[in-house]
Every structure is written in C-alpha cells, then in structure tokens.
Amino acid sequence: MDYEAVIGLEVHAELSTRTKMFCACTVTDPAKSEPNSAVCPVCLGLPGTLPVINRQAVELGLRVALALGCTPLPRSIFARKNYFYPDLPKGYQISQYETPLAVNGKFTIRTVAGEKVIRIRRVHLEEDTGKLTHITQPQAYSLVDLNRAGVPLLEIVSEPDLCNPAEARAYAVKLQQLLRAIEASSADMEKGQIRFEANISLRPRGSQLLGTRTEIKNLNSFRSMERAITYEMQRQQEVLLSGGLVEQQTVGWNEDTGVTFPQRGKEEAHDYRYFPDPDLPPLVVDSAWLDRIRREMPDLPEERIRQFQQKYSVPLELAEQILADPWLEQFFLGCTSDILLAEETARWLIGPLAGELNARGIGWEANPLAPTNMADLLARLQTGSINQPMAKQLLKWMLDTGKNPEEIIAREGMVQVSDVDSLKTTIQAVLHAHPAEVSAYRKGKVSLAQWFFGQVMADTRGQADPKIVKMLLDELLTALMGGQLSD
C-alpha cells in the first residue's frame, strides 16, 4: 500500500511588543534578564488582579492576519484554557478559542513542483507560559522563571495542505520571513520566539479520507521540524503496514535520539474547559482601525525582493537569500558601495563568507566583520591586486584576527604575482621537479595539466595570477609535446 502524508502546522510567534499581553511588564531578552525580574501581580496570577489587552499586540496580530489574507473578525473573544502546569501560575492560559482574531487566509509557498497555496485556518492571540529549567545533578529539581509568562503570542494555524517535510519547511521559512518583514516578530529560533507544532496523518494515496493524526509538540528549529515529521511519517507507515492502528496522541521530539515519544493520549478541546474570560471584554475591531493598519503595513517580502532585485540587478535567488536574514541584509548594504559590484558582493556573502561563519558556528547576527573591510577585500579582488584563492585566505585571516585587509596584506606580503618572467621560471621549475608526471603527460595523460597548475599555485602560495599561469603553462606544455622543452 502506498501512503501519502497530510500535514498541518501550528506556528507560535512571540510578537515584538514592548510589554506583555495583559499587563505592563516589559518583555525582556531571556538571555540578559534576571529570572523573575519582569513580573507583576497580573502575570503572576495573584487573586484580585485584572488583565488589560495590549493594543500593540492586537495591531501586530492584525498586521500578520492581513498579510496572510485572513478576514479579521469584528468581535473576537478571549477565553480561559484551563490546565495545570508549574510554568502557568494562573492555572489557565488566556487564548482565543471559538472566535479568533482572524480566519480563512492563504499563503503561497514555492515547492519543487511549483507554487502552492496553503490555506490558513485561523490566527489568534494568546499569552506565553513561563520557562522551566530541569536540574538533574546532584539533586533533581526544577526552576521556574516567569519573565516569559504573559508575553504576547500569535498562533497561526494552517489547514492540512502540506504533503511532505520539505513543504512544511518551505512554509515555515517563508512565514518567518514574513513575520520579520512586517516587523511583527523577530522570530528568532535561538530565543524561542518562533516554535512549531505539526499534525501528521497518513492515508492511502489518492484517498479523500483523513487518517488518525498525531501532533508533534515544541519543535524549535526548521531542522528539528523536518526531521521529526520525517520520523513520524515513517513510524506511522510501519504501524499501518503491519496492520496496526495509529493512536491519536500528542508526541514529543527527542533531538538527540531522533525519535518521537508519546506524551499525552487523545486530547480534546473539552478537556480544557474553555470558557470566555469574564475579566476581558470582547475585542472589537472596526474597519477604520483595519484601514490604518493596512496603510501602515511595511512592504511584504515579495515586494521587497522585487525592489531589491531591481535596484541591484541581481538574480531572484540571490535577492531572496540576502533578504532572508535581516543581519545579512544589513551587512550587504554596508559593504555595497559600488552598485556594479552588487552581484559579486552578494555571491561572496552567501558563498565564502557564509561558509567561514558556518564553520566557526557564528550566525549573521554575530558576524564580526566590519562591512568596510569586506568591501575593501572585494575592491582589491576587482582591481586584480589579489586573486580568488588569496581573497579567500585573506577572509579567513580577517575573521581570525579582526584585522583589516591592509594590515594583513602588509604582514603576510600578499601580492598577486603577474610578472611573466618570474612565473615562467616557477613553472619550469615545477616541470623539472616532476619528470615522471612530465613523461606521463607526454604519453597522453593530458589531465595532468590541471595538476601542474595546482603545483604552481601552491609553490606561489596561491599568489600567482591564475590567468597568466594558465596561459604560460599551456604554452610550455604545448612546447613539451613538440619535444621543445629546454633542459
């Protein structure tokens, strides 16, 4: 039996507000703030306190809803979702249930098969929980930090229109770009500002019926999401092929072992005893408010990519890659002094520089290079005072030492050798030093030409002008075939 997957994604994004969803506490960077320093009676859930809806959170939520082509509901309701957990001081989470902020949108993604429209079921506002840290050694206990409790969250729920892990990834990546472009969320995965949950079921290929689904909770990166979906599809297929039934359940994902594990059994909405929060009025959104939000909406990613492409005349793919990360975009703008060099610059950033940063485990947000130094390197490459291998070496040294190109070039004596006579001497020396290879070349192993080229470049520490070396080497090897090599 051949099965196909039916996948829906729920994306939780922390909205970029100054304060929390229902109180005046500042939203803090978890890495920089003392635990439990940004809390108050409201977000601690003390008796007698009253929540107040954060207007900025509603506006950012509506901005996302409109960008996704959703219809905002004129009147949405905040409800209490009741459950107990140590990171939830009130014993319930305030969320929108029956009447969310907005419904029925669509989002177009690019897949290997072309463009595909993913329907958006709903977009709703809720509050985040606190954070638990589990200590196991030497004694087992848990720490609770409530700085995050009450931070505004937007949940974006897709219809199950995704068919495989790659599509789920494409959807999540594009959604992250959208959230950033319209400044609704920083959507930084490292900081947990964007999290994913995936619903997955299998059905016989071509069937219209839906199989029993499982839900994978708390996926914190694109990679985890892709791996977890792949694993869960495989697992369900094995269950079905062996004649078993998939059990409806919530599963967790273990990043280290690469497997999902059951967390909770079948879970229904009524388990949470949702009811409208008596402390909060209905959220009323009128058309004047929506008009203003539409007017103030920053450009959507497609529009920004189009403008970027036009301004710098670079291919679509390059424009998409540069604009995919705001730090990379900023860096690009900082080192693009010459618009004619824009494409070359873009290729260097997403090629050699991205490779070096990646090898050092550094993200674009922590890229230590000064844009002026990168521009300097590219200008030297352009004028031919250094060649490609030298430029790559120079880039490494710049990252290692923090020094600028001029200092490193002076220290290392990096000068591209373009002098014909001196290069000829080097090439002749290489040929003399390798009689066996020369003999093999003469007998017809012409592929050795590339090997000789490599030897010459190595002998000159990569500083020879490769175009001149190639030309001289061709000349000398042609002479060699004619038996005219001078001894």
Residues making contact with Zn ion (CB under 5 A): 23, 25, 40, 42-43
The least distance separating Zn ion from the CB of residue 16, rounded to whole angstroms, comes to 18
Nearer to Zn ion, 54 or 193 (CB): 54
The least distance separating Zn ion from the CB of residue 19, rounded to whole angstroms, comes to 8
For residue 448, what is the enclosing H or E element? helix 448-459
Nearer to Zn ion, 72 or 130 (CB): 130
The least distance separating Zn ion from the CB of residue 32, rounded to whole angstroms, comes to 18
The least distance separating Zn ion from the CB of residue 37, rounded to whole angstroms, comes to 11
Nearer to Zn ion, 92 or 222 (CB): 92
The least distance separating Zn ion from the CB of residue 110, rounded to whole angstroms, comes to 41
Tokens of 181: 């472009």
Listed in sequence order, the residues at least 6 apart from 2 whose beta carbon sits closer than 8 Å to its beta carbon are 204, 205
Nearer to Zn ion, 23 or 341 (CB): 23
Nearer to Zn ion, 40 or 163 (CB): 40
Question: How far is Cα 311 from Cα 346, in angstroms, rounded to an integer?
Answer: 13
The owner of tokens 């280290």 is: 256
The least distance separating Zn ion from the CB of residue 278, rounded to whole angstroms, comes to 20
By DSSP bridging, strand 249-254 and strand 214-219 are parallel
Q: Considering only CA atoms, which of 166, 165, 185 is closest in space to residue 175?
A: 185
The amino acid present at 426, given as its one-letter code, is T
Residue 56 exposed, middle or buried by CB count within 10 Å (0-12, 13-18, 19+): middle
* CA angle at 229 for the pair 225 and 231, rounded to the nearest 5°: 120
Nearer to Zn ion, 144 or 166 (CB): 144
The least distance separating Zn ion from the CB of residue 378, rounded to whole angstroms, comes to 49
Nearer to Zn ion, 42 or 101 (CB): 42
Cβ-contact 93, 124 below 8 angstroms: no
The least distance separating Zn ion from the CB of residue 94, rounded to whole angstroms, comes to 13
DSSP state letter for 38: S
Nearer to Zn ion, 37 or 313 (CB): 37
Q: Where are the beta strands (DSSP E) in 265-347?
A: 275-276, 283-284
| Long-range Cβ contact pairs of 105-108 (< 8 A, separation 24 or more) | 105/65, 105/68, 105/69, 105/70, 105/71, 106/68, 106/69, 107/68, 107/69, 107/158, 107/171, 107/174, 107/175, 107/178
DSSP state letter for 218: E
The least distance separating Zn ion from the CB of residue 149, rounded to whole angstroms, comes to 8
Nearer to Zn ion, 26 or 401 (CB): 26
